[in-house]
Amino acid sequence: MSRLDPAVADVRRAVRVDLVDLGAGTRVVVACSGGADSLALAAATVFEGRKAGWVVTGATVDHRLQKGSSELAHQVASQLLDLGCTRSDVLPVSVAADGSGPEAAARSARYQALETHAAPLRATVLLGHTLDDQAETVLLGLARGSGLRSLAGMSGRRSCFRRPLLSVSRATTRRACAVLGLAEWSDPHNEDRRYTRARVRHDVLPVLERELGPGVAEALARTATLARQDADALDALADDLLRQARVVAHEAADAQLLDVDSLAPALPALRWRAIRLAAIAAGAPGNDLSAAHIEAVDQLVISWRGQGALDLPGQVAATRHGHLLELKLRRQ
């Protein structure tokens, strides 16, 4: 009996550990682009699913951004069936230009399609992001200077999504595919240095590894784990602060009314988070709220001298009325 290759074993172990809570009969959808990461994930999930009794299916999203994308998507779907998925679906999407950039727009369309696909199945959706992807995400967050939450990287679990391979390197998934004889597809966008993530992957991380020594990606991934724990704790405390500060008023049922005297004494880290949560509850898109927006609203709390309303993303206005801070949608 031949010895199992360590790379294949590592990927299978990661899936087994992450999905240990899923019982027999659970529907699991593996999102697969045809790249090494998601192919290795699909192969491991099918293997572990046979033992655990999961119903494993595949899904590939056709972004329709490249010539021949439909043909490629159907090839990947066929590959997933060959791996042992009980079914495999192609999910075509339209990527709208929304000002967030092509990468973000494609990601948003992809997640929406997968979530819509999984909802009637009550399925768990597996994504193939690896330790290297996490390291890149942390570096991108650090470059933006957008706070602790951005340094927390990608969540291992969110909504119906799970990322079992965040502790597994890209080299490991590629080795697993090679050992299993799986033909991987390389997305040309991943090599296109017009995209920020591609530059981080091919230019920034290699320089850090060369100048600082090996293990930078692992260290960045550990940083994400630690930052996420801290951010989760701070968010829980901020949520408590927001509940204490929130004022319920019948005449302002569509607004977030906050008691300034409850907010002002709080530590800035908690106060800023509470303000952000209130702004999102009022209708401001979380991805568009910058630190500058939150700081400006915070000035209404701690340094108000009669200044007027502030405009926030999503047509939300922040206004100070005496001892109350109001966040609400502007009337059209």
pLDDT of residue 253: 63
Planar angle of CA 252, 258, 261, nearest 5 degrees: 140
Alpha helices in the chain (DSSP H): 6-18, 36-52, 69-83, 102-118, 131-144, 148-151, 170-180, 196-199, 205-212, 216-245, 260-263, 268-282, 291-302
All domains of the chain, ordered by start, with CATH? 6-226 (3.40.50.620), 248-329 (3.30.465.60)
- pLDDT at position 84 is 98
Within a 10 A sphere around the Cβ of 37, how many other Cβ atoms? 26
Instruction: Please answer whether residues 301 and 268 qualify as being in contact, where contact means their C-beta atoms are separated by less than 8 angstroms.
Output: no
Quote the pLDDT of residue 289.
Answer: 86
Beta bridge partners of 223: none
Give residue-wise pLDDT tens across range 243-274. Answer: 999 997 655 567 899 999 999 999 999 999 99
**Which residues does the chain have with pLDDT short of 50?**
none
pLDDT of the residue at 298:
98
CA 182 to chain centre: 27
Closest CA to 273 of 155, 148, 154, 152: 148
The pLDDT value recorded for residue 165 is: 99
Q: How many CA atoms lie within 13 A of 239 on its CB side?
A: 6
**Model confidence, pTM:** 0.85
Q: What pLDDT, on a 0 to 100 scale, did the predictor assign at position 2?
A: 72
The pLDDT of residue 106: 85
The CA distance from 228 to 225, in Å, is 5
